[in-house]
Amino acid sequence: MATRTETLLMLRGLCGDLFRKPGMVRDVVSADVGRFSIRPHRHHDELQLDLLNGCVGSAIVDGESLDVDGVTLLTHYPGRRHGYDLQGGRRWHLKLAMRQLSPVVRTRVWATQHASTAKKSPVVLLASGIAQLPKTADERSPRLLAMIAELLSLWPVRDVSAIDASTVDDTRDLAAAVRLIQTTSGKPPSLDALAATAHLSRRHFVRRFREHFNCAPGDFINADRLAKAKALLAGGGATASETGTAVGFANASAFSRWFTRHVGQTPDRFRRDPHVA
C-alpha cells in the first residue's frame, strides 16, 4: 500500500489530469435502477467507480460476488471482472480512461468495496454530493470536472488514514470557492474573495488549491472564463463585444487579444464556426 504522502500525490495528479485531458472522462451516468442485471465483463482501459444508493442485490467485483445494501461504493479496476444483479435505488457511475500501469491502478489506491448505512457516514455524505452532478458527461465543463475531482479526492482509499479529516474539510471549502468562480458573471472573483469563501487565508487557499487541483486558482479561473466565452459565442446569441463584457473584460480589443491567444482564432471567427477550433 502506498504511503499517505504517495496516496495524496497520486490523487492530486489524477485530479490535475482531469483539467489537462477532459477526454479521460468517458462516461458519467446517474439513473434509477429498477431491475438492473449485467453479466460479468471487463474494461481493459477504463477505471469505473460506482455508487449504489438504496440498491439491493449483489455485485461481482474482481470476480467475487458481494452483497449490496444501503449505500455502497464499488471500484472496478481495468481488466477486472465486474457485473451486477440489483433492484431498486439509484446507481451513479463514472468511467475514466485509465491504463493498467497507471499509479492509481498499480497501487489499487481505492478499496474495491465500501459500504455504510449510517446517516452521517462519509459514504452517505459522498452520495449526497454525487446527487448534484449532471446526469451525463456530454459537455465536460470545468464545473463538472471540478465536481468529479472533489469526489475522487473523497472516495475512500484502502488505508483510511491516508486522508485525514482536515483534508476532507478543506476539499469541501475549496468546492465552495469553485462554485463562486463558476456562478459569477462578469469580472471573476478576486483571490481574497475566494480565500474568504473557503475560510482560509490567501496563502493557505492558494497552496490547498494547487494541492487538490494541481493548478493555480488563476489557471482554473482562466479555463472557466474561456469555457463561458466559448459557450456564449457558439450559441450565436452574443456578439464578441457582448461576450467580452459578460466574462469581465473592460473592452472588446482586450477580450479579442486574450481569446485569440488561447483559442488560436478571433472571437468573430469562432462565432461563425465554433467546430473549427
| 151 has pLDDT over 90 | no
Instruction: Report the pLDDT value the prediction gives residue 52, as an integer from 0 to 100.
Output: 87
Element holding 185 (H helix, E strand): none
What is the rounded CA–CA span in Å between residue 67 and residue 86?
10
Instruction: Report the pLDDT value the prediction gives residue 89, as an integer from 0 to 100.
Output: 86
Write the burial class of residue 244 (CB in 10 Å: 0-12 exposed, 13-18 middle, 19+ buried): buried
pLDDT digits (tens, 9 = 90+) for 204-232: 899 888 877 778 899 889 888 988 898 88
What is the rounded CA–CA span in Å between residue 171 and residue 1?
23
What is the rounded average pLDDT of the residues 35-46?
A: 88
For residue 61, the SS3 value is strand
**In angstroms, what CA-CA distances link 144 with 22, 110, 153, 176, 196?**
10, 21, 14, 14, 23
Instruction: Report the pLDDT value the prediction gives residue 251, as an integer from 0 to 100.
Output: 93
Q: Which of residues 221 and 131 earns the better pLDDT score?
A: 221
For residue 98, the SS3 value is coil
| 194 has pLDDT over 90 | yes
Single out the residue of 110, 126, 136 nearest to residue 25, CA to CA: 136
Confidence of residue 103 (pLDDT cuts 50, 70, 90): confident
CA dihedral 32, 33, 34, 36 (to 10 degrees): 160
**In angstroms, what CA-CA distances link 56 with 37, 51, 73, 163, 260?**
12, 12, 13, 29, 53
What is the rounded average pLDDT of the residues 56-64?
A: 87
Instruction: Report the pLDDT value the prediction gives residue 277, as an integer from 0 to 100.
Output: 47
Confidence of residue 122 (pLDDT cuts 50, 70, 90): low
What is the rounded CA–CA span in Å between residue 266 and residue 258?
9
Least confident range of 65-74, 180-189, 247-256, 259-268: 65-74
185: cell is 458573471
pLDDT digits (tens, 9 = 90+) for 62-96: 878 888 887 888 999 988 889 999 998 888 888 99
Least confident range of 17-21, 99-103, 115-119, 179-183: 115-119
What is the rounded average pLDDT of the residues 151-170?
A: 58
| 167 has pLDDT over 50 | no
Confidence of residue 125 (pLDDT cuts 50, 70, 90): low
- Mean confidence (pLDDT) of the chain: 80
